[in-house]
Amino acid sequence: MSTMGNARWSKAWVSLLALVVTLFFAAAAAGAGEVILQLEWTPNTNHTGIYVALDKGWYQEAGLDVRVIAPGIDTNVLAVVASGRAHFGISAQEYVTSARVEGVPVVSVAAILQHNTSGFASIDRGITTAADFEGKRYGGWGYPIERAILQGMMQKDGASVDRVRFVTIPEGIDLLTLLRRDIDFTWIYYGWQGIEAELRGVELDIVMMSDYFDAVPDYYTPVLVTSEGLIEQDPDLVRAFVGATAKGYEYAARHPEEAAEILLKYAPENDPELVRRSQEWLSPKYIEDVPRFGEQKLEVWQAFGDWMYENGLISRPFDAAAAFTNEFLP
């Protein structure tokens, strides 16, 4: 058998093994009565609805004993969910797309935010449009998608990503310090890092991705994911969990002040003022332009998947319809 044939055979076995392990662990955990949710980052306002549902007892009312796990170093949420070590996880559309193309059996069951709230931030570098990225130092994490997104945005403005110097920055570094000293701009989520800058009295210039959705399609980030195996084996559990979670986010959307205090109760290590201000900014975005929390659209999944394929970020065309479902939303 050729090397390529061996690779395809190996991938097929990896996918099959992942599904078998998912079913085994999901069944064991379900039998024990505990439902595990793996976060992708330390608790923040992207996760508030989960903690609201915990605090209000809505998971318990649904017959679920939910345990929320914060990530360790280099935690791969989709691998954890696909292997059955967690029933659910928090991820993002671009990661789900890449994983599914590689045969990882994960499915998005709810969009936590309806629109991408990220942008590229700088401090006193004269950057007001993507064209201004030319000749500047971009501080990133070495992911191919970063260059592709910058390329799309810059091309719209008639500029070239080839004139950007890419600098890899370590995880957990203080971005505001780096922006003053070692880099010219970086990628942030405004609802957390942008608000943090405001509180620290730092005036950021931000080129928002939302201004370039005609060049780089909008996509869901973050999303709530589970495995194909759990959906097949225990759809009632999935429906109960998604329903209680949706109730938590709907409450947080209507009551940002109370929701912020609930998040601080479960994650007291956070800056209270940052949580409160971030929650005020983010709560209206949980249910934006849709009739209910979590709603996902095929055109959003398809457009961004096509864009990833066209830019060489995935190796084959993407089956968007299989990557998400609205079936379990209340």
Domains and CATH numbers, the chain: 3-115+220-322 (3.40.190.10), 118-212 (3.40.190.10)
**Which of 5-9, 90-94, 125-129, 318-322 has the least mean pLDDT?**
5-9
Identity of the residue numbered 95:
Y
Place of tokens 């912020």: 260
pLDDT digits (tens, 9 = 90+) for 253-270: 999 999 999 999 999 999
Instruction: Provide the pLDDT for residue 74.
Output: 65
pTM above 0.75, yes or no: yes
Taking the C-alpha atoms of residue 279 and residue 51, their distance in angstroms, rounded to an integer, is: 13
Taking the C-alpha atoms of residue 29 and residue 81, their distance in angstroms, rounded to an integer, is: 12
Q: What is the mean pLDDT of the chain?
A: 91
Taking the C-alpha atoms of residue 51 and residue 14, their distance in angstroms, rounded to an integer, is: 34
Average pLDDT over residues 208-231: 98
Whether 323 contacts 97, CB under 8 Å = yes
Sheet holding 205-208, edge to edge: 165-168, 137-140, 185-189, 118-122, 205-208
Q: What percent of the chain has pLDDT over 70?
A: 90
- For residue 74, the tally of other CB atoms under 10 A from its CB is 6
Helices 93-101 and 298-310: crossing angle in degrees, nearest 10, is 70
Give strand ranges (E) for the chain. 34-38, 65-69, 88-91, 106-111, 118-122, 137-140, 165-168, 185-189, 205-208, 223-227
Instruction: Provide the pLDDT for residue 172.
Output: 75
Considering only residues 67 and 28, tell me which one the structure prediction assigns the higher pLDDT: 67
Taking the C-alpha atoms of residue 97 and residue 93, their distance in angstroms, rounded to an integer, is: 6
Taking the C-alpha atoms of residue 79 and residue 71, their distance in angstroms, rounded to an integer, is: 12
